[in-house]
Structure 1
Amino acid sequence: MIQTSQRDPATAVYRATVPAGDYWLHRIDAGQTLRITDLEGNQAADTLFYNADDTAERYSMTDTLRGQRNVFLTTGSVLRSNEDRPMLEIVADTCGRHDTLGGACATESNTVRYDLEKRHMHACRDSWMLAVAQHPEYHLTKRDITHNINFFMNVPVTQDGGLTFADGISAPGKYVEMVAKMNVLVLISNCPQLNNPCNGYNPTPIDIAVW
């Protein structure tokens, strides 16, 4: 559901621009609001959420979709953990819907889906693994990379129950805004994918704001 926000980016306590293909790792305290903005349009932001005080608790696609009885995420969606607790709630969304079924690109999936020659292309799992390696203070490992949300990504469910990577429905300046219900650790891969239309075959930056 389309819902705009009254928050002014000029009053944000934190701002950052994440280049295409880079990662962003940050703590958001309970009660704070996080906005992710698709600056140039059709840019997927593959995102992981953890309980900042106990990273064994993390975002769960299955608990979230079971709780809302809808396969897409938008305004009003409560992002739930693997302990079935609310982590964040989407309170504004000018894109309209976001994917949490399609997973994230990886060396292995690029090879299977596209070509053996694509196996060395940068992927979201590479960005997440780099973040984990560069931030040992969070005690995360490869095993902690599980369910994710693909903000701004269009992954329709086909009539036979399959998934397809389709042209994006986002546009320059579209954003999604979430209020944290607990202290959360947010890890975003600003997707580098070049082999399908999730980034319009041209990855671009995203903007982060926190209030």
Structure 2
Amino acid sequence: MITESRYDAAQASFRQVVAAGDYWLGRVNRGQVLRILDLEGNQAADTLFYSADTPAERYSAMDTVREQGNVYLTSGSVLRSNLNQPMLEIIADTCGRHDTLGGACATESNTVRYSLEKRCMHACRDSWMLALAEHPEYGLDKRDIGHNINFFMNVPITEEGGLTFADGISAPGKYVEMRACMDVLVLISNCPQLNNPCNGYNPTPIEVLVWNQ
């Protein structure tokens, strides 16, 4: 569902452009609003969420899909934790839907899906691992990499119940905006994938914005 934001980017308390293939790791406190902005269009932002107080509590695709009765995310969707607690609510969305089933690219999946020569290509799991290694203060490691959301990514479900990767439905300036229901850690990989249409075969920057209560 398309819903415009009431927040002015000029009034954001935090703004940072995340280069293609780079990551962003930060804290968003309860009541703050987080926007992920697709600057040039057709980009995918693979995102993990954790409780800032107890990182063992983290985003759960299963709980989220079950409670909302929809496999796609958009305005009104409540992102739920593995304890079935509300973590964030999507309050604005100009893209229309976001994927929570397709998972994240990895060197292993690149090898299986594409070819052995793709194994060493940069992947989202590489970006997450780098983020955790460079920020030990958050107390996260590779065991904490679980369910993620692919914001802006178009992953249609086939009649047989499988998943396919298709051209993105985002465009320059599209965004998704969430209000935090608890203090959360947010880990974004601005996807470097070159082998399927999720980034239009051309990864581009995104921007992260945060507003206070």
TM range (shorter): over 0.9
Letter in 2 for 1:63: D
Structure-1-length-normalised TM-score: 1.00
SS in 2 for 1:58: coil
State the 4+ residue runs in structure 1 displaced beyond 6 angstroms: none
Q: What 5-or-longer segments of structure 1 have no aligned partner?
A: none
Q: Distance in 2 between matches of 1:103 and 1:56?
A: 19
Equivalent residue number for residue 87 of structure 2: 87
Q: CA RMSD in A?
A: 0.3
The correspondence of residues 8-157 of structure 1 with structure 2, limited to 5 A, is 8-157=8-157
Letter in 1 for 2:120: H
1:195 deviates by 0.2
SS in 1 for 2:98: coil
1:137-194, CA deviations, whole angstroms, 9 ceiling, x for partnerless residues? 1111111000000000000000000000000000000000000000000000000000
Structure-2-length-normalised TM-score: 0.99
Q: Distance in 1 between matches of 2:75 and 2:171?
A: 17
Equivalent residue number for residue 209 of structure 2: 209
Letter in 1 for 2:153: M
Q: Distance in 2 between matches of 1:56 and 1:117?
A: 35
1:78-98, CA deviations, whole angstroms, 9 ceiling, x for partnerless residues? 000000000000000000000
Q: Distance in 2 between matches of 1:133 and 1:207?
A: 22
Equivalent residue number for residue 191 of structure 1: 191
1:67 deviates by 0.5
The answer as to 2:168 corresponding to 1:168 is yes
SS in 2 for 1:56: coil
Q: Distance in 1 between matches of 2:208 and 2:189?
A: 12
Q: What 5-or-longer segments of structure 2 have no aligned partner?
A: none
Q: Distance in 2 between matches of 1:94 and 1:115?
A: 35
Q: Distance in 2 between matches of 1:180 and 1:6?
A: 16
SS in 2 for 1:204: coil
1:36 deviates by 0.4
Letter in 2 for 1:59: Y
Count residues in correspondence.
Answer: 211
Q: Distance in 1 between matches of 2:19 and 2:25?
A: 13
SS in 2 for 1:70: coil
Q: Distance in 2 between matches of 1:132 and 1:209?
A: 21
Equivalent residue number for residue 4 of structure 1: 4
Q: Distance in 2 between matches of 1:178 and 1:136?
A: 26
Letter in 2 for 1:176: V
Q: Distance in 2 between matches of 1:38 and 1:20?
A: 11
1:6 deviates by 1.4
1:11-37, CA deviations, whole angstroms, 9 ceiling, x for partnerless residues? 000000000000000000000000000
SS in 1 for 2:87: strand
1:199 deviates by 0.1
Q: Distance in 2 between matches of 1:133 and 1:10?
A: 33
